[in-house]
Amino acid sequence: TDSFLVPLACECVIGYTFWSLVHGLGPMIWFYPLNELDITGYELFVLVAFSPILFLLGENTQKFLSRTPVVNFFMLLMLVGAASFHASSTLSRLISLSIGVGAAFIVQTVTWWSGTQKERRIHFWGYTLGFVALLASRIWYVSMTPLWNDHKSNKVIVSLFTATIAAKLIFQQSEDAPQEEKQKKTKKDKSTYSPLVVSLGYGAVFFFLHALLGEVSIIPRYTVSGFPNTGPMPNPWGGLVLLGITLGLLLSFYTSIASQWMWSVIGFASGMGLMFLPTCNCLFFCLVPDNVSYVYMVCWLLSVKWLIIVLWLGLSAFLFQCRRRNITSCSLGRPPPSKNFPHLIWTFHFGYDNRGWPSLDRAAELLSNTGADVITLLESDASKPYLGNNDIAMWLGEKLGMYSDFGPSTRDHTWGSLRNLILSKYPIVNSTHHLLPSPEGELAPAISTTINISGSMVDFVVTHMGNDRDDLDRRQQAAKLSQLCSESRNPVVFLGYVTSSPGSRDYNKLTRDGRMKDIDPTDRDRWCEYIMYRDLIKLGYARISHGGLSDTELQMGRWRIPQGEHTDNFKLTTSDDKIPQSIRFNTVFGSHYVGHWYGGGHHFHMSTPKYFV
């Protein structure tokens, strides 16, 4: 048993590191075109994933790469990739990580397709269990990959991987497999399997595992919708994804299932169900008499009830232990009842700073210091393989103790670079996700939501409009957004990335047709982020430098919800001497500052903060 468990444990650590390296490469490559908004050439680093193509160079190359000392050397290169988190620059980290990923694929190829049958089985299950372990650890880290989350976690995993390499060197088995086993394997491979078919099949499975099952929140986020019926939240329903993966692994012991036509029918029917199920009930109710549909509905509800009971009985023990990991069980922020509220807008840059390192912890501290009750983050959908498959809404919602609206689902748009999310200390009553007209460029989303602020309903419209070069997109998007603002029956705040200057066509469309007012019409030095409002009393306006966490500043506004007839504040002051303490912005960001702030950290700048009296 020890001769099996020790190698399996080592392979689990190697597999865990392999999958972590794969998850880390995409964001590092994407960093360059994201900042340049163009093809940069660094995209070629993705070719390291094709390093196993070296095995096509001939039998001598295969024998050389399969030698034990060579495999050990490539594992040391994997260690270099894992430790790249501590690199001094973005480029050196990308190079180190790419070397590690290329070496990892070679190690995987050698260990899976050489050696005895027992050795290959140990290697395969080690990588498989390592994948499951990574998913489980990402649940604990609230969707983040532990290896790339912070320096402390990285050091722990690198140390564990180093110990694993040392253990393999100590317990190294014989380099050469028995000749009979090799001949048997080679003969079987050549006579039974097509290398091309196997490669295509494995490539498809690998992409599916990485893109859709690389984190358990991805599939729930494909079904997300607006409040109050948001669909299954990642926590706890993402646990069902992990459960399904585990059950699938258990079924793999019964290889005869794959050749039974009934399983193919079940798989096909399941896929069709996922695609057409939302329309089945409506169609059924239209075709049958009312009484029959009523009976059907009752039976359906009863069956669902028992299904839910069975599922929850199995999950309750785990959820009881992990209830603090669930946002609905976390201590949500409950600000004291007040008719004054601050909010902010920030282009978040997907949770990566201007050097390509994760910025979530630093961003959470910044957002907490602002004291904002409502936060909208643009460029926030990191639920993509090239952005790390991270769920920023869930992470920040738990960290800050706020309600979160993920925004338009990952399924409903293209790149995700324009997507927005909302965080609120107050309950979100309802929200609608919109896909704005985008005939020329990137699909632009928006959220219109109603939030209950101390008993008063306030509407928010948040968006990231298309690029400035897509003129037709922005014209149609401005028309749709102005319609959403104009139709709002409650006090409304517009928080948007408009990509045009004050007084431009799209700006005027929002202020004229949308019946919105600019929080500070005197601020002419703006291009991206804008704050507009209607039926609120403005109290303050601030711009805070990004401090290297993003390429865009934070903008804040503070309002009072009027009671009945009201008059807005128009007198502007930059002195807070006569401003009540409850209305002032946090002095942790300094005091009024003229011009851009080029110093370190986060500071008020651009002639803010301003107060209105």
Say if 200 falls within a structural domain: no
The pair phi, psi for residue 185, each rounded to 5°, is -65, -45
Say if 215 falls within a structural domain: no
Predicted confidence at residue 533, as pLDDT, reads: 98
The pair phi, psi for residue 522, each rounded to 5°, is -80, -15
CA distance 384 to 146: 17
To the nearest 10 degrees (0 to 180), the angle between helices 68-82 and 2-36 is: 50
Q: Which residues pair with 88 in a beta bridge?
A: none
pTM for the model stands at 0.85
Helices (H) and strands (E) in the chain, counts: 16, 14
Predicted confidence at residue 240, as pLDDT, reads: 87
Predicted confidence at residue 191, as pLDDT, reads: 46
Residues 78 and 52 reside in one and the same domain: yes
| Cis before 228 (ω within 30) | yes
Say if 138 falls within a structural domain: yes
Residues 307 and 377 reside in one and the same domain: no
Say if 232 falls within a structural domain: no
Residues 360 and 428 reside in one and the same domain: yes
Q: Name 464's Cβ contacts closer than 8 Å, sequence gap at least 6.
A: 347, 378, 379, 418, 419, 420, 444, 445, 496, 497
Which of 179, 201, 225 is the last residue before a domain boundary?
Answer: 179
* Domain that includes residue 313, residue range: 266-325
Predicted confidence at residue 327, as pLDDT, reads: 44
Q: Is 564 left (phi over 0), alpha (psi -120 to 50) or beta?
A: left
Query: DSSP secondary structure string, 291-346?
Result: HHHHHHHHHHHHHHHHHHHHHHHHHHHHHHHTGGGSTTTS----PPS-SEEEEEEE
Which of 287, 302, 325 is the last residue before a domain boundary?
Answer: 325
Residues 152 and 283 reside in one and the same domain: no
How buried is residue 68: exposed, middle or buried, by Cβ count under 10 Å (0-12/13-18/19+)? middle
Report pLDDT digits (tens) over 329-347.
445 656 667 889 999 999 9
Residues 355 and 297 reside in one and the same domain: no
The domain that holds 106 is classified in CATH as 1.20.1250
Say if 524 falls within a structural domain: yes
Predicted confidence at residue 200, as pLDDT, reads: 85
Question: Are 464 and 379 a contacting pair, CB within 8 Å?
Answer: yes
| Count: domains in the chain | 3
Residues 152 and 297 reside in one and the same domain: no
Question: Are 494 and 523 a contacting pair, CB within 8 Å?
Answer: no
Q: In Å, what is the CA distance from 388 to each residue of 70, 131, 214, 380, 605?
A: 30, 15, 9, 12, 32
The domain that holds 472 is classified in CATH as 3.60.10.10
Residues 382 and 515 reside in one and the same domain: yes
* Count of alpha carbons within 13 angstroms of residue 220, beta-carbon side: 22
Predicted confidence at residue 314, as pLDDT, reads: 43
Say if 474 falls within a structural domain: yes
Report pLDDT digits (tens) over 449-493.
999 999 999 999 999 998 888 899 999 999 999 999 999 999 999
Say if 225 falls within a structural domain: no
Predicted confidence at residue 409, as pLDDT, reads: 82
Which of 179, 204, 237 is the last residue before a domain boundary?
Answer: 179
Q: Which residues pair with 560 in a beta bridge?
A: 340, 537
Question: Are 465 and 440 a contacting pair, CB within 8 Å?
Answer: no
Residues 486 and 599 reside in one and the same domain: yes
3-class DSSP state of 29: helix
Residues 107 and 43 reside in one and the same domain: yes
Predicted confidence at residue 316, as pLDDT, reads: 42
To the nearest 10 degrees (0 to 180), the angle between helices 90-112 and 117-140 is: 140
Residues 45 and 154 reside in one and the same domain: yes
Q: Which residues pair with 449 in a beta bridge?
A: 431, 460
Low-confidence residues of the chain: pLDDT under 50: 1, 174-191, 281-330
Query: DSSP secondary structure string, 507-549?
Result: HHHHHHTS--EES-TT----SSEEEEEESSEEEEEEEE--TTS
Residues 344 and 321 reside in one and the same domain: no
Per-residue tokens: 484 = 């959403």
Say if 118 falls within a structural domain: yes
Edge-to-edge order in the sheet of strand 554-560? 403-405, 420-424, 374-378, 340-347, 554-560, 537-544, 610-612, 572-573
Residues 345 and 308 reside in one and the same domain: no
